[in-house]
Structure 1
Amino acid sequence: MTKSRIEMAKPRIRLTDINHKTKDKIDKIEDMNAKTEDMNNRTGDMNDEIEVRNDKTENKIDKTDKTDKVVDYIDIIGSWIKARFAKLAEVIDDIIIMNSIHVVNFYLLFTWWEHIYKTNRVS
Structure 2
Amino acid sequence: MTRPLILALSLVAAPLLIAPATAETPSNRPEDGAFVSQVVFHCARGAVVPVAYVSLPTGEGFAVAQIDGQQVAMKQVVSGSGVRYRSVAADRPYELHAKGQDGTFYYGPEADAPAILEDCTAA
Q: What TM-score comes out, normalization by structure 2 length? A: 0.16
Q: Which of the pair has the greater relative contact order for Cα pairs under 8 Å at 6+ separation?
A: 2
TM-score, normalization: structure 1? Answer: 0.16
Instruction: Give the number of the structure whose residues are more often helix, by fraction.
Output: 1
Structure (1 or 2) with the larger CA radius of gyration: 1
| Larger proportion of strand | 2
